[in-house]
């Protein structure tokens, strides 16, 4: 049947399929937002502005303040990003610039990519039984309350989880830096460090920024591994060693048994807030990427 | 799509795939017991039962939406929930769960707790093991260090039994809830029973609540708690069953925490299967449901011991049977 159609019609059909699939994804995103908004409507009106500023989340008395959760989410994610950045950049430079081929490079590349494939519950278990006792030991040495679980544990496990996202994409961008400008730099007598520092990194920075944002987005939404080690206390963490909570973790913990309509709706509102925070960071990121990109 | 259509589609789908003759969903707390019971039931009677542990709230919701044949719940349905269901509901208690107060102290000493101590420790009023109020109940025990409170972070029936108990002994400070909130500054939440057990085992000075099965599997020490008759009771399957051997209403919708039974452990509760009372629209299925329920409260009780659940005492089993018999099958 297809054979009998004219070339032009075939081309049109193909284009239509592409356009509809692309539009479909955008529509899903929009409907997703709409669903959250509708389900959170009751809470938005009932909680008012206190939702954003309130420090108390107590379903028993019907007080829903999400500020500590918002703070916990941003704190753990940003901290994780700062911790992961030096490692991710080193891996990216190693794979993208120094050792592009060879056994060592491919072994390293596969292991970094494998990190992304480990289920988060496995990270959580590992963190709970290995990382947390180590942190507790550190806390005893420092003389702070030895909870073990808390913001630091959550940030550390997140940092490990997002390394592959930041590293793989950065390595690809670094590889894409044109060979001739590299060679031009070397011909001017630049050392390898100078080439990396003055030519490659500036050239690849927009790609690296994109990679970092992807990693940040991953950290913002991570649920299982965080909930297992953050201590799940719905309050402002007093220090890095204190317990806290994140938005994703709260929803995962409380949604299953929430029955009161306002309670369910408030959890949806937390979901909506998380959605908006992720979207905002993404938009800000696009701006940064655009600003940093080098014309070639 | 209306719910009836959804239900029949789901049943047909699952039936066609050879999945199940009966569908249930709800509480995760008794799920290990149900899995065992339903596996044996299938071997003996050839009836496949599919039970999904989605939480008590989900079980009640799905029953109300009529997408399942029976629900499972750790908290009996409130009058409001029954009204929302639109028709009378029967409650069938299936076993009794005990929640123990487990701790991690150097040398694994035996610890005795009064109701006041339990309340004060868990809300942070007592935050040092060296507190004289603890020493007064446990003469000869030398303890020190901070008390770390470990609780469930996910909403659960375990928390609901524990806070039900706390709210009975100290109503000014506690309210029954599926999520735990405390004023203690040294409190951490663990995900699931395994999360709580893991944290208690790691942290010297920790105290928390968990199901007896998890405490036993993890070889954790747990406290003897003073009951309303003034006797210190070490949690065990016997003292759990004993706690339920009290006067309860005919519909079995009762809380048995802080039991009046002299040798009963005070922190435990029933878990129920719930079903509509009038199943006469589909007599064949109704027969299957009632047969299953009867089997659970009779033969099924034999499996409670190996899985660390309290067996229903005779008095309760009789009431459960009467409730099953009240189901209209045709």
Contacts of B186 in chain A (CB under 8 A): 145, 147
Contacts of A231 in chain B (CB under 8 A): 188-189
CB of A208 closer than 8 Å to CB of A217: no
pLDDT band, residue A295 (cuts 50/70/90): low
Note whether B155 contacts A256, CB cutoff 8 Å.
yes
B133 CB near a chain A CB, below 8 Å?
A: no
Q: What percent of chain B has pLDDT over 90?
A: 58
A103 sits in which H/E element? helix A103-117
Contacts of A27 (CB under 8 A, 6+ apart): none
* pLDDT at residue B16, rounded to an integer: 46
pLDDT at position A54 over 50: yes
Per-residue DSSP letter, A94: I
pLDDT band, residue A2 (cuts 50/70/90): low
Q: Judging by DSSP bridges, how do beta strands B221-222 and B232-233 pair with one another?
A: unpaired
pLDDT at position B14 over 60: no
pLDDT at position B328 over 60: yes
Could you tell me which CATH class the domain A67-293 is placed in? Answer: mainly alpha
Contacts of A150 in chain B (CB under 8 A): 188
In terms of CA atoms, which chain B residue is nearest residue A132?
Answer: B202
* pLDDT at residue B319, rounded to an integer: 93
pLDDT band, residue B27 (cuts 50/70/90): confident
pLDDT at position B58 over 90: no
* pLDDT at residue B19, rounded to an integer: 58
CB atoms within 10 A of CB B293: 23
For chain B, which domains are there?
22-96+270-326 (3.40.190.10), 98-244 (3.40.190.10)
Contacts of B175 (CB under 8 A, 6+ apart): A60, B163, B167
pLDDT band, residue B185 (cuts 50/70/90): confident
Contacts of B154 in chain A (CB under 8 A): 227, 252-254, 256
B221 sits in which H/E element? strand B221-222
* pLDDT at residue B9, rounded to an integer: 55
Contacts of B60 (CB under 8 A, 6+ apart): A259, B26, B71, B73, B77, B81, B274
Structure tokens at A108: 């390293």
CB of B183 closer than 8 Å to CB of B123: yes
| Residue A127 Cα, gap to closest chain B Cα (Å) | 11
CB of B139 closer than 8 Å to CB of B166: no
Contacts of B180 in chain A (CB under 8 A): none
Helices (H) and strands (E) in chain A, counts: 13, 2
In terms of CA atoms, which chain A residue is nearest residue B203?
Answer: A147
Residue among B201, B116, B107, B195 nearest B159 (CA): B195
Burial A239-252 (b: 16+ CB within 10 A, else e): ebbbbbbbbbbbbb
Give A198-214 pLDDT, tens digit per residue.
Answer: 999 998 988 898 899 88
Residue among B230, B209, B97 nearest B153 (CA): B209
- Could you give the CA distance from residue B211 to residue B101 in angstroms, rounded to a whole number? 9
Q: Which of B188, B203, B207 to mutate to test the interface with A (most CBs of A within 10 A)?
A: B188
ipTM: 0.80
Domain ranges of chain A: 2-38, 67-293
Give B105-139 pLDDT, tens digit per residue.
Answer: 998 899 999 999 999 999 999 999 999 999 999 98
| Residue B238 Cα, gap to closest chain A Cα (Å) | 30
* pLDDT at residue A154, rounded to an integer: 95
A253 CB near a chain B CB, below 8 Å?
A: yes
Give B212-268 pLDDT, tens digit per residue.
Answer: 988 888 889 999 999 999 999 999 999 999 999 888 899 999 999 999 999 999 999
Judge residue A107's burial from the number of C-beta atoms within 10 Å of its C-beta, 0-12 exposed, 13-18 middle, 19 or more buried. exposed
Long-range contacts of A128-131 (CB under 8 A, 24+ apart): A128/A228, A128/A229, A128/B195, A128/B198, A128/B199, A129/B198, A129/B202, A131/A156, A131/A157, A131/A229
Q: What does pLDDT average to over chain B?
A: 89
A146 CB near a chain B CB, below 8 Å?
A: yes
The total number of residues shown for chain A amounts to 296
| Residue B44 Cα, gap to closest chain A Cα (Å) | 34
Q: What percent of chain A has pLDDT over 90?
A: 56
Residue among B139, B140, B159 nearest B151 (CA): B159
pLDDT at position B100 over 60: yes
A26 CB near a chain B CB, below 8 Å?
A: no
B188 CB near a chain A CB, below 8 Å?
A: yes
Note whether B186 contacts A147, CB cutoff 8 Å.
yes
Q: How far is CA A91 from CA A99, A179, B86, in A?
A: 10, 20, 62
Angle at which helices A67-93 and A261-292 cross, to 10°: 40
Q: Which of A176-185, B13-22, B191-200 shows the lowest per-residue confidence on average (mean pLDDT)?
A: B13-22
Q: Which of A85-89, A231-235, B203-207 shows the lowest per-residue confidence on average (mean pLDDT)?
A: A231-235
User: Rounded to 5 degrees, what are φ and ψ at B282?
Assistant: -130, 80
Note whether B155 contacts A258, CB cutoff 8 Å.
yes
pLDDT at position A294 over 70: no
* pLDDT at residue B264, rounded to an integer: 93
Give A219-266 pLDDT, tens digit per residue.
Answer: 998 999 999 999 988 889 989 999 999 999 999 988 877 778 899 899
* pLDDT at residue B5, rounded to an integer: 54
* pLDDT at residue B214, rounded to an integer: 85
| Residue B233 Cα, gap to closest chain A Cα (Å) | 30
- pTM here is 0.84
Contacts of A274 (CB under 8 A, 6+ apart): A73, A220, A221, A247, A248, A251
Note whether A129 contacts B155, CB cutoff 8 Å.
no
pLDDT at position A292 over 80: no
Give B78-96 pLDDT, tens digit per residue.
Answer: 888 899 888 999 999 999 9
Residue among B304, B317, B215, B318 nearest B267 (CA): B215
């Amino acid at each position: 049947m297809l054979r009998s159609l004219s070339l032009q019609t075939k081309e049109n059909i193909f284009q239509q399929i592409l356009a509809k699939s692309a539009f479909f994804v955008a529509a899903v995103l929009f409907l997703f937002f709409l669903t959250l908004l509708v389900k959170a409507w009751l809470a938005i009106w009932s909680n008012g502005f206190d939702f954003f500023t309130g420090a108390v989340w107590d379903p028993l008395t019907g007080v829903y303040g999400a500020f500590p959760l918002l703070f916990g989410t941003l704190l753990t994610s940003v901290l994780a990003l700062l911790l992961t950045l030096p490692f991710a950049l080193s891996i990216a430079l190693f794979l993208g610039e120094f050792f592009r081929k060879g056994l060592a490079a491919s072994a390293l590349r596969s292991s970094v990519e494998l990190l992304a494939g480990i289920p988060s519950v496995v990270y959580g278990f590992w963190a709970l039984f290995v990382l947390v006792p180590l942190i507790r030991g550190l806390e005893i040495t420092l003389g702070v309350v030895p909870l073990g679980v808390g913001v630091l544990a959550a940030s550390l496990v997140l940092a490990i989880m997002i390394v592959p996202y930041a590293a793989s994409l950065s390595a690809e961008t670094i590889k894409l830096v044109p060979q001739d400008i590299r060679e031009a730099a070397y011909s001017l007598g630049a050392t390898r460090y100078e080439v990396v520092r003055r030519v490659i990194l500036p050239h690849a920075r927009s790609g690296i920024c994109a990679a970092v944002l992807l990693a940040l987005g991953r950290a913002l939404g991570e649920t299982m591994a965080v909930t297992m080690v953050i201590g799940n206390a719905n309050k402002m963490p007093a220090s890095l060693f204190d317990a806290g909570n994140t938005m994703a973790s709260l929803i995962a913990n409380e949604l299953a048994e929430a029955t009161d309509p306002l309670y369910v709706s408030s959890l949806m509102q937390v979901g909506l807030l998380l959605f908006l925070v992720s979207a905002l960071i993404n938009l800000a990121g696009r701006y940064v990427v655009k600003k940093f990109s080098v014309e070639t | 799509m209306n719910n009836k259509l959804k239900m029949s589609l789901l049943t047909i789908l699952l039936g066609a795939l050879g999945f199940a003759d009966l569908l249930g969903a709800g509480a995760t707390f008794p799920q290990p017991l149900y899995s065992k019971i339903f596996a044996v039931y299938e071997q003996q009677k050839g009836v496949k039962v599919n039970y999904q542990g989605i939480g008590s709230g989900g079980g009640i919701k799905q029953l109300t939406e009529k997408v399942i044949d029976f629900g499972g719940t750790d908290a009996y349905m409130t009058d409001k929930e029954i009204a929302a269901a639109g028709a009378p509901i029967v409650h069938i208690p299936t076993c009794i769960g005990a929640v123990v107060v487990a701790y991690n102290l150097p040398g694994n000493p035996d610890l005795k707790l009064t109701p006041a101590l339990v309340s004060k420790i868990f809300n942070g009023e007592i935050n040092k093991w060296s507190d004289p109020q603890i020493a007064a109940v446990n003469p000869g025990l030398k303890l020190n260090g901070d008390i770390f409170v470990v609780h469930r972070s996910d909403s659960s029936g375990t928390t609901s039994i524990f806070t039900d108990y706390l709210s009975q002994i100290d109503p000014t400070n506690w309210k029954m809830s599926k999520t735990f909130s405390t004023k203690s500054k040294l409190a951490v939440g663990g995900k699931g029973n395994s999360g709580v057990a893991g944290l208690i085992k790691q942290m010297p000075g920790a105290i928390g609540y968990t199901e007896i099965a998890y405490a036993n599997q993890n070889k954790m020490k747990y406290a003897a708690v003073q009951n309303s008759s003034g006797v210190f009771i070490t949690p065990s399957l016997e003292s759990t069953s004993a706690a339920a051997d009290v006067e309860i209403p005919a519909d079995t919708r009762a809380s048995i925490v802080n039991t009046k039974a002299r040798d009963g452990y005070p922190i435990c509760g029933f878990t129920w299967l719930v079903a509509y009372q009038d199943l006469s629209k589909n007599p064949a299925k109704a027969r299957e449901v009632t047969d299953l329920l009867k089997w659970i409260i009779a033969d099924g009780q034999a499996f409670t011991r190996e899985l660390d659940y309290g067996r229903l005492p005779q008095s309760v089993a009789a009431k459960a049977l009467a409730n099953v018999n009240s189901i209209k099958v045709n």
